[in-house]
Each structure stands twice: as structure tokens, then as C-alpha cells.
Amino acid sequence: MTRQGFMDRVLLSLTRLTAEERENVRQELEEHIEDRMEVMLEMGWKPELAEERCLEAMGDPVEIGREMAKQYRGRGWLWLGRAAVLLTVVLCIQALLGVGILFNAWDSLEARVNPQMGSRLDWTESSGQVDLRMPMGNDVLRVFRVSVGKREERRVAEIAMCAYDRWPFGIVAYDWQRYVEINPPDAEAPYRSSNGRGSCGAEYVQTYVELEPGARSLVMAYERFGESQRLEIPLPEGGEAP
């Protein structure tokens, strides 16, 4: 048997190993034979005979290959284990995101059924629950309470509203407020506050509009992507200056 034939037989069983690992095994065995042959040649052996004796001393190449393959056998499970860990991490992240989606869906549902938000008026003259809805792209804007009262020494209307996606599991557009105006618009910027309520599922906002004496209603307008919507918001009865 030649050295090449010996190597080929060893490598026969090593199909599970990567090309690099197979090359490492081959190189290591070659080096062993090289070291041993060098000693034998120094002792005066003929090269062919020396190689033959070396290969004999190595043992059965098929057996060596089989034993070597066994050492790498557990690796299928190792990779499977790593894949399982990775999958678990991904699933955990998915589950956490899923929890977020559930909260969003809950907020979205609450906005449809029973929107709540505390008034921030310093003094309330009149207030009334309403249910006025205006489509706004994929979202819906719902006005659920209109109050008149004093805030920071000014007579204002407080419009409490919430926006939610038409689809219960959808999320509301983050910048919808930029496309909504309420008239009569304040000469200065209208007072707005988001009060820190809401999630991606529903967003609550209270807007304050300074009232002209004798005002009976406000008009809310939405304009975006060529879509125009208009919603009239009547002010609650008794909304006159005291």
C-alpha cells in the first residue's frame, strides 16, 4: 500500500468532517509518517522499505478512519442543540413582542368601547360625553368628551380624543396629530398635550382651543394623501361665559 492509498482509506469514513478537518487529519498523519521515516532513513533503511514499515506501524487505515469518525459523531447533536437554543431565544423574543401586540390590541379595543382620560381643566364650566368618529387613513379618530372651562386663565374647549387603527391588532400612525387641525384655530399655537397615555394600539390626546365669546361648535379637519375629512364638534350646552 502506498502512502496515498493509506490516506485515502483513512479519509473514507470521515464524511462528517469539514474539508478543513479532513485536511488536518491527513496532514497530522503525514507528519507522523514523515517523522518516523526520517529516523528509519538515518538508521540506514531503504526509503521504500522504510515507508512500508511505517505504514504497517500505523495500523489499519480503515480502522483509524472509523475511530476518528466516532470522535466527531456527537457534533450533529451539538449543532442541533445550538439550533434549539437559538430557536428558543427567537421564540422568547417573539413571545415578548406578542405580549406587546396584546397590550396594543387591548388599548385599541378600549379606545373603541370605553375611552377614558382625566380632564385637565382648572375649572369646568360644562362637559359632555360624545361619540364622534372620523376616518383618518387606516386609522379612526374618536372624540369622546368635550368640555368647556378655564385653563391657565383662558376660556378654552377641551377636546378629549383617541386615535386607533381600524383593525384591532393594527397600530396607529405615529404622526397623525400633524394632519389634524381644530378651528377656530388659535392665533397662537393651539395648546396640546398628549398626557402620556396610550401605546401603539391607541393614542389619547387632549387639545385645548381658546374660545371666542358665543362659540357653539368647533370644526376638526384632517388632510393627508389627498384625503380630506371634516368633523363638527358641538360644544356642550351652557358653554357661555359665566
**8 A C-beta contact, residue 159 and residue 240:** no
238 binds other proteins (CB under 8 A): no
Q: How far is CA 117 from the centre of its chain?
A: 29
Q: Least distance (Å) from other proteins to the CB of residue 21?
A: 9
Site for other proteins in 41-60 (CB under 8 A): 57-60
Q: Least distance (Å) from other proteins to the CB of residue 38?
A: 8
Q: Least distance (Å) from other proteins to the CB of residue 23?
A: 12
63 binds other proteins (CB under 8 A): yes
66 or 150, CB closer to other proteins?
Answer: 66
User: Among 23, 30, 67, 237, which residue sits at the site for other proteins (rule: CB under 8 A)?
Assistant: 67
**8 A C-beta contact, residue 91 and residue 151:** no
**8 A C-beta contact, residue 65 and residue 13:** yes
Q: Least distance (Å) from other proteins to the CB of residue 84?
A: 20
Alpha-carbon distances of 197 from 138, 157, 161, rounded to whole Å: 21, 20, 11
Q: Return the DSSP state at 45.
A: -
User: Among 11, 29, 143, 180, which residue sits at the site for other proteins (rule: CB under 8 A)?
Assistant: 29
Residue 126 phi, psi dihedral angles, 5° rounding: -155, 155
32 or 230, CB closer to other proteins?
Answer: 32
